[in-house]
Structures are given as structure tokens and as C-alpha cells.
Amino acid sequence: MTLSNVLIYGLLGSVAPAAVAAAAAPFSSANPITDLSLERRALPNGPSGNYSPLAVDCPSTRPSARAASELSPSEIDWLKLRRNNTLQPLIDFLTAANISGFDAKSYVNSASDSDRPNIGLAVSGGGYRALMNGAGFLAAADSRTTEQTTNGSISGLLQAATYLAGLSGGGWLVGSMFANNFSTIVQMRDGYTGSDLWRFDNSIFAGPSKDAQNSGSNSTSSSSKRALSTTTDVSVERRGIITTAEYWTDVADQVSAKADAGYETSLTDYWGRALSYQLINAPDGGLDYTFSSIALTDNFISADTPFPILVADSRAPGTTVIALNSTVYEFNAYEMGSWDPTTYGFVPTEYLGSNFSNGEVPTGNDSRCVRGFDQLGYVMGTSSTLFNQFLLTNLSAAVDVPKFVLDIIEDLLTDLGDDNNDIAQYVPNPFYKYNPETNDFANNTQLTLVDGGEDLQNIPLHPLIQPIRNVDIIVAVDSSADTTYSWPNGTALRASYERSTGAIANGTLFPPVPDDNTFINLGLNQRPTFFGCNASNFSLSDGQSLPPLIVYLPNAPFTELSNVSTFDPSYTLAQRNAIIQNGFNAATRGNGTLDDNWPTCLACAVLSRSFERTKTDVPQACTECFTQYCWDGTLNTTNYGEYEPTLLLDGTTSLNATSAANSLGDVWVKVLAVAASAVVVLTL
């Protein structure tokens, strides 16, 4: 029996051994990867060679803003390749789902490209909990994860997807995958010799292992297919930790280089730097790795991966509250900007930091462009600025942090004010004087961005529901901490629905979503639920199109008490692996233990909008699936009280000393955040 089986069997107790084996089957023993080939990771293309942006000569076609009335030419060209590359994976996924009476290959091959399903995946915020739970889902969806059982398998969904969006902790997951050359979850979880990648057992406040700091590599094993085992050698000793003082001195020096070059810095710079040491497999956490460099990697150029998107919110000038109608910004490998009718524009991600004015980089004295501002860790930190408060609180209490580092933090707070410690500063403002009639930031030289979940839209659905992207289905992985004990109850979905009813939606539609009591009482927070199944329920105005069908996949206790605190700074490797396993089980319904027809039903959801466009009769198997998984509008608004679930494969309560303490930690940090930025409710 492998270690993973021992751990899971110990948790499940009375569950039949066959059920335990089914839930644990894909997780056989594996050791950290030692083969370091020369395979290129994300490109270290910051022109300064360090964390600081650098002014460079502008290209012959000067960077400029464009209206958000269509996709960028680069995305349009890329989609032509990606849609073609998803064709065979889509056929394979649908064929494996074995929809009775339906010829998947014939249907997909005979449909036009615009009629074939277009898949988006969205991973919520929620700190390391969201990263680990989301990792389990992506491992299940990835055909490169070998030794998956047939029952419950959703293997290949990732290869069939066009878009992959992340926010806050989910953004760390997406950013880490692409920073590491779209590595598999197994590769990142098991790590590499001389690397601190995903070593969450070492607190982010303590710093990386000494060997990782000295010999970290920007290359990995060229092997892409590995079993998703949860028994990474947890007994391996760390071969020495650099002192906390050395670690934070390095971080302070890196951020100081940016300040010395004349750029504004904030706590987000420090948070993004700390994150990078754990998420980017390169010396010093990839000092000169940029988000836009993703577009230069071979696998992205050939469209062999989905299109990555990270999300952040703006905070209106002079305010501290993040309203639901705040402008939502996205970062992708080509552009940064917003679809909202406020800013309604995009600029090239590569040239953030340039002195844009009314959408143009002026000639003359201000003629030079800037590159390197979109440093990968800084973009991931921008999407998760709520953790600035987490950083501030813990850094002040950490042992051996040099006094001069704490003095720098204090000076930053003095300059910014406590009400602004959760922001990322984009100076110069890329949308200065752009769309002044509607843009709140048009007359500000600084664009203030905050954690993408501070408006309660903790699942990055916004980029994927834009009609111009024609997404048919979004699998929404929700690791939010909505309840007292850090389980989701659909708050993020409701926020997106409520936003769609206002003017800020700009004609974008979203399926109706029930209240939190209904979510809990009907068990919608413990199993996949489809929202927006019945196309006839939507009243479309001229130019409007059906919204995507939402497949809601909540974090729930299958084989692990995965409701850990959003603000836990470290996890044992065994706990990390168990939470990833739990996310895998959520995605596969316990490898079919809870529903061996789940792959069929997910395939039906993928096909739903396509069936509508092609006027195809819905197979009986799909009709039965929709009856089982679609929310039919039923409500049960009785107050559910304290939500204390049991393991879904056992009768053990999830409320124990650890989860209770973690949840109180969530509440404590939320109170601090409220005091700092006057945000009434924060859902992560």
C-alpha cells in the first residue's frame, strides 16, 4: 500500500477499501525529478536582466491602445491555431465520454469551427487552498497525467480548452504553470533537484532552501507524462535554508532596483517577489521573467496550450471600497486592459510602464518605450494584493527579518497610507487621458489595481463571458471561503450574476444563480452543478448571444479536509498532496465512486451550446444528465446555520481543531483588511 493509500485510508475509516482504492488510484509513488534537461522555461526577457523595468527604443510600429470592440489581431491569429489544435483532443474527450447513441467524431468533424464547442476553464482565488484544489482539477483534466482510471475520468479537457483564467491564488496556479513552460501538475508538485518549486512546507516568510537559491534551474525534465502520485518523498531533508535575513535582504535589493530606476513600488512588489521563489523554477524566482514572454515560448506560439488570463480589479481614485461595478482588468500574454464600458481598451502587456497618453506613447522627449514592467511575479501579485496585508502582518512578526527591510515597509506605508496597502501601482497609468468621458482613471497618472476577488467575483469569469470570445462552457473551480469554516457557497457566482444586471455589464449576460442557503440546502456546494442549461430562459436583445453554460465545481471534502485557511503560509508536503488529491477527486467524482456517469454528463455540458447552434437533437443520455446536474430554479432559503460537512466518502465531520483555527485565521485577517481598506465583505 502506498503512502497516499495509507493517508487516505486513515481519513476514510469505514469506507470500503475498493472505494478508497478508486479515489487514490492515480497517485502511485514518485520521487522528485532529477533529470534537468535544457528545455526552456518561460523566457527571461526583461531587458535590465533584473527586477527593474528599462527604457528601450520603441519598435517601428509604436505601441498604442485599442478599443475593446473586438479581439486583438494577435489573439485572433493565435485562435486559428488553437481551435485547430483542440479538434482532436475534443474528439478524444467526447469519444471517451461514451454518450450513448452519439457519434462524437462524426459530429465534431462535420461541424464548422464556429459551431464546435469552445471551452474555458476558470480557477478561483483562495490562497494556497485555491492553488492546490485547482491543481487537482487541472491534473484530472490533463491528458499528460497518466495512470488515470476510466471511471470518472475527465482527461483531455485541458487539451480541448481554449482559455484558462486564474485569479489571486488561482492566478498563482495559472502563472506558475506558464512560468514553467506549461509543466504538468505532477512535475510542479514533485519538484526538481535544486529547486524550491511548490515547496509549500517552507513558509513564504522564511525563504527558499539554500540549494534552490544557489543552483535553481530554468530547465526541467523533458518528460511530459508522469503519474499523479501523492507520495513525493516527504522525508527528504532540506539541505539547508538560507537565513531569513539573507532572503529578505535579497528581496529588498531587488525591489530597490525598481525604485532606483524611477518606478513606484508598493507592498505588491514584495509580495510578488516572495511568491516567485515558490512558483517559478529559476534562480531568485525569475527576476527578469515577464508575463508577456509567455507569447514567445514555443508551445504558446504553436498554440499547444490554452490562452492564459489573470484578473485584477481597479479601485476608483479617492475611494477605499471595491464596488461590484469596479472596472475589471485582465492580463494576457498579448494585452492588458478591460472590456468594461469604463476603460474599454487594451494596451500591449510587453510595454506596460511606457508613458501612454490618450492611447499613444508620445514622440519627442518621452519617446522611449519601457519593457520589463510586466514582471511575472508582479502580475501574479497584482491579482492577489489582498495578501499585502497578510505579508505586512506576518513580516512584522517574523524572526530575523532585517530592521532595514521593516523600515522600508514602514516608509512605504507612510507614503501610501494604510488605506492603500492592498494596491498595485501602475505608474505611468497606461490609460491616462484615454476615454475620459467614462474612464475614472483618465486624469490620474496612476492606475490602482487590487486583488481580483475584492469585488466578490472570486472566480475569473469576466474575461470568459465576453461575447466576443464566444465561449460555450466555463468550468468554474471555486475554492472560495464563504462560510464560517472556509467552504464556498456560490457567492462568487452570485456576484457575477448581479453584475450582469447592471450597466457595467455592457450587454454581457450571465445565468441566474440561487442564494447561499439554497446552495447549501440543496447540496450545490458539494457536487458539480450546471447553470444556464435552458437556452430558452434567456431573452436576447439585438446583438446579444447566449452566455456560456457554467459548470460549477466547488471545493468539497471528498478525501481531505481541504477547507484550510486562505492565509496559511505553509503546508506539509503530505497535506499539500492530500489537498491536490481532494481536488482531483472533486473533478472526477472520486474516480466515478460517486457517479460513474460523470464524464458523460460533463461531455454533454460541453456540447450543450453547440447542440443549440446546430439544432441537433439532444441525446437521451444528455437529457438525463441535464436533469441530474442542471439547477432547475428550485429554491430552499431556510437558514442553514453553521455548515459543518462530513467527508463525502465517509461520515467523519470536517470541523476539527485545525479547520476551526484556520477559519478563525481567515476571519482575523479579513477584519484587518476591512480596517485597512474599508471593504465590508471579502470572499477568497
Question: Is 453 inside any structural domain?
Answer: yes
pLDDT band at residue 8, thresholds of 50, 70 and 90? very low
pLDDT higher at 324 or 419: 324
The x, y and z cell numbers of residue 311, run together, are 484578473
128/136 Cα distance (integer angstroms): 12
Angle between helices 387-397 and 657-677 (to 10 degrees): 110
Express each pLDDT in 135-194 by its tens digit. 999 999 999 998 788 889 999 999 999 999 999 999 999 999 999 999 999 999 998 877
Position 181 scores a pLDDT of 93
The pLDDT of residue 394: 81
Q: Within its chain, how far is the Cα of 155 from the centroid?
A: 19
Categorize the per-residue pLDDT at 321 as very low, low, confident or very high, splitting at 50, 70 and 90. Answer: confident
Query: Residue 37 pLDDT > 90, yes or no?
Result: no
Average pLDDT over residues 202-219: 62
In a domain, 548, yes or no: yes
Does residue 483 surpass a pLDDT of 90? yes
For the beta carbon of residue 240, count every other beta carbon within 10 angstroms: 12
Q: Where are the beta strands (DSSP E) in 504-660?
A: 529-531, 549-554
Cell numbers linked to 286? 525569475
Q: Please report, for the domain that includes residue 587, its CATH number.
A: 3.40.1090.10
Identify which has the larger pLDDT, 2 or 365.
Answer: 365
pLDDT at 191: 87
Q: Are 231 and 578 in contact (CB under 8 A)?
A: no
pTM, full prediction = 0.88
CA 72, CA 180: separation in Å to the nearest integer? 25
Residue 649: C-alpha distances to residues 404, 522, 586, 590, 653 (Å): 51, 18, 11, 8, 11
Write the pLDDT tens digit of every residue in 586-595: 999 999 999 9
Convert the pLDDT of each residue in 514-558 to its tens digit.
999 999 999 999 999 999 999 888 888 877 889 999 999 999 999
Q: Is the sign of the CA dihedral 126, 562, 205, 44 positive or negative?
A: negative
Does 122 map to a domain?
yes
Kindly state whether residue 103 falls inside one of the protein's structural domains.
yes
Residues 112-137: tens digit of each pLDDT:
999 999 999 999 999 999 999 999 99
3-state secondary structure of 372: coil
Confidence of residue 229 (pLDDT cuts 50, 70, 90): very low
| Residue 577 is assigned to a structural domain of this protein | yes
Confidence at 292, pLDDT banded by 50, 70, 90: very high
pLDDT in tens, 64-108: 999 999 999 999 999 999 999 999 999 999 999 999 999 999 999
Rounded percentage of the chain residues whose pLDDT exceeds 90: 67
The percentage of residues in the chain with a pLDDT greater than 70, rounded to a whole number, is 82
Contact 213, 282 (CB under 8 A): no
CA distance 574 to 127: 18
Q: Note down the domain range covering 462.
A: 3-42+81-677
Tell me what pLDDT residue 239 has: 34
Residue 58: which residues within 8 A CB-CB, separation 6 or more? 354, 361, 367, 368, 369
- Average pLDDT across the chain, whole number: 85
pLDDT at residue 376 greater than cutoff 80:
yes
Q: Look-up: residue for cell 511606457?
A: 354
Q: Using CA atoms, how far apart are residues 568 and 75, in angstroms rounded to an integer?
A: 37
Q: Is position 66 within any domain?
A: no
Does residue 535 lie in a domain region? yes
Confidence bin at 343 (pLDDT 50/70/90): very high
Answer whether residue 586 is part of any domain: yes
Domain count, the chain: 1
